[in-house]
Amino acid sequence: MAIVVMKFGGSSVGDAERMKRVARRVVEKKAEGNRVVVVVSAMGDTTDDLIDLSKQLNDKPSAREMDMLLTTGEQVSVALLSMTIQGLGHNAVSYTGWQVGMLTEKAHGRARITDIKPDRIHKALGEDNIVVVAGFQGMTEDGEITTLGRGGSDTTAVALAAALKADLCEIYTDVDGIYSTDPRIVKVARKLKDISYDEMLELANLGAAVLHPRAVEYAKHYNVPLVVRSSFNHNEGTIVKEEATMEQGVVVSGIAYDKNVARISILGVRDVPGQLAKVFTALASAGINVDIIVQSGVLNGKADFSFSVGVDDAEASVAVLRKIQSDVGFDDITSETNLVKISIVGAGMVSNPGVAARMFEIISEQGVSIKMVSTSDIKVSCVVDAEKFQDIVRALHTGYNLDTAEQAFVGGPQERR
């Protein structure tokens, strides 16, 4: 008998009617002869509401108490879903993350899973139960409750599938698969039949919101069969697997964008060994993640270079660099926001020369200058002004033959928790 892990996001269980629909979907899966484990997020806006409430009482709550608070959202969901399944005449039992042996590191709000001990799940499945597990949460070795951060429920589902050696992990969301780009911008975006782990990981890291990078990493590492599909219909979803089917003439699989981008430029840096090490060591010590780095040529013993960070880190980056300006020896710093990083991703890029050149050409045809570029074997990213980014995404989508003949999108805003 196959084991199937099904994950439902917050909007899928946002109210009583949606909860009933999910319960019927789960019971259908069980009736097909599967042993079923369900991972559920907090209902609707529950997590945001809890965060807002905490801020009304304490504008700087401790990370430990926030984890204690936020894990209650998933506990409500699993209990209600289990009751709903029972109401349909099937055995069901709900568990928190720590009850199913989800062990994590000691990092409140952003813990990573270190181990899973699924004995309790195996026992419950053996007793013909549908097992409903709270996503997004776990426990440290010394008994502290933790949350896994952004994308935690996706990660919970994939990690459980790996630990249980499940035959399939299905991620149910409010869209019916992975699209070639954001279908809210490109109405003729195509739903992908399948996509490789590597391509999906690049898209997730570059801004595609339907799957979290940690969940994809887990799936790739443990070779977990993964399907993304809609909780609102029975359409076939998108399979995420080791190697995807190469469509004839399609070199780029998807286009992603990230509006959380700022560019910091350091001007007139002395061209002596160790200067860049000082800069990026200081930024790392301040907890600032740097993405793209570009250095210009050397003139009169000095060079300029730029790097990108998240918008929220722009002001902090400038402050950190001002503190080390005399030590590093540079002339000035500039900061620029209102930027977007647009990326093309595709395994076919490796064996097809000229893909990047075509991207640069398409962007220039929109009358937009490229500020920064980053490449890998299967992606090219360009940082540009945000003003015309939707036009650029549409032009790239058409330019790489990704448009469908008619509107393909089915679903609503994409969720990720």
Task: List, for residues 133-180, the tens digit of each pLDDT value.
Answer: 999 999 999 999 999 988 899 999 999 999 999 999 999 988 889 999
Position 329 confidence tier, pLDDT thresholds 50, 70, 90: confident
CB atoms within 10 A of CB 59: 7
- Using the predicted structure, report yes or no on whether residue 404 has a pLDDT greater than 70: yes
pLDDT higher for 299 or 155?
155
Q: How far is CA 209 from the centre of its chain?
A: 5
Tell whether 415 is covered by a domain.
Answer: no
- Mean per-residue pLDDT, 195-220: 90
Q: Mark whether 233 and 159 lie in a shared domain.
A: yes
What 3-state class would DSSP assign to 219? helix
Tell whether 413 is covered by a domain.
Answer: no
Task: List, for residues 333-344, the tens digit of each pLDDT value.
Answer: 999 999 999 999
What does the DSSP assignment read for 283-340?
A: HHHTT-----EEEEEEETTEEEEEEEE-GGGHHHHHHHHHHTHHHHT-SEEEEEEEEE
Q: Are 139 and 105 contacting, i.e. CB atoms less than 8 angstroms apart?
A: no
Task: Report the CATH number that the domain containing residue 359 is assigned in CATH.
Answer: 3.30.2130.10
Which of 246, 276, 305 is at the close of a domain? 246
Q: Are 159 and 219 contacting, i.e. CB atoms less than 8 angstroms apart?
A: no
Q: Are 43 and 50 contacting, i.e. CB atoms less than 8 angstroms apart?
A: no
Q: Mark whether 236 and 309 lie in a shared domain.
A: no
> Could you give the CA distance from residue 190 to residue 183 in angstroms, rounded to a whole number?
8
- Using the predicted structure, report yes or no on whether residue 7 has a pLDDT greater than 70: yes
Q: Mark whether 380 and 330 lie in a shared domain.
A: yes
Side-chain half-sphere exposure of 16, counting CA atoms within 13 A: 1
Mean pLDDT of the chain: 91
Tell whether 407 is covered by a domain.
Answer: no
Position 332 confidence tier, pLDDT thresholds 50, 70, 90: very high
Tell whether 111 is covered by a domain.
Answer: yes
Side-chain half-sphere exposure of 224, counting CA atoms within 13 A: 32
> Could you give the CA distance from residue 294 to residue 25 in angstroms, rounded to a whole number?
50
Q: Mark whether 47 and 128 lie in a shared domain.
A: yes
Tell whether 406 is covered by a domain.
Answer: no
Contacts of 331 (CB under 8 A, 6+ apart): 267, 268, 302
- Using the predicted structure, report yes or no on whether residue 256 has a pLDDT greater than 60: yes
Domain range holding 370?
Answer: 255-399
Tell whether 405 is covered by a domain.
Answer: no
Q: Among 175, 163, 158, which Cα is nearest to 212's?
A: 158
> Could you give the CA distance from residue 222 to residue 278 in angstroms, rounded to a whole number?
38
Q: Mark whether 241 and 263 lie in a shared domain.
A: no
Contacts of 282 (CB under 8 A, 6+ apart): 320, 321, 323, 324
Q: Mark whether 262 and 231 lie in a shared domain.
A: no
**Total tally of structural domains belonging to the chain:** 2
Q: Mark whether 26 and 144 lie in a shared domain.
A: yes
The segment with the largest mean pLDDT, out of 107-121, 248-262, 396-410, is: 107-121
In order of 10, 51, 73, 74, 223, the CA distances from 42 in angstroms are 5, 13, 5, 4, 27
Tell whether 404 is covered by a domain.
Answer: no
Task: List, for residues 35-73, the tens digit of each pLDDT value.
Answer: 999 999 999 999 999 999 999 999 999 999 999 999 999
- Using the predicted structure, report yes or no on whether residue 25 has a pLDDT greater than 50: yes
Q: Are 49 and 212 contacting, i.e. CB atoms less than 8 angstroms apart?
A: no
Single-letter residue type at 271: D
Q: Mark whether 273 and 154 lie in a shared domain.
A: no
Q: Mark whether 367 and 221 lie in a shared domain.
A: no
CB atoms within 10 A of CB 231: 23
Q: Identify the helix (H) or strand (E) that includes residue 375.
A: strand 372-376
Task: Report the CATH number that the domain containing residue 159 is assigned in CATH.
Answer: 3.40.1160.10
- Mean per-residue pLDDT, 232-238: 91
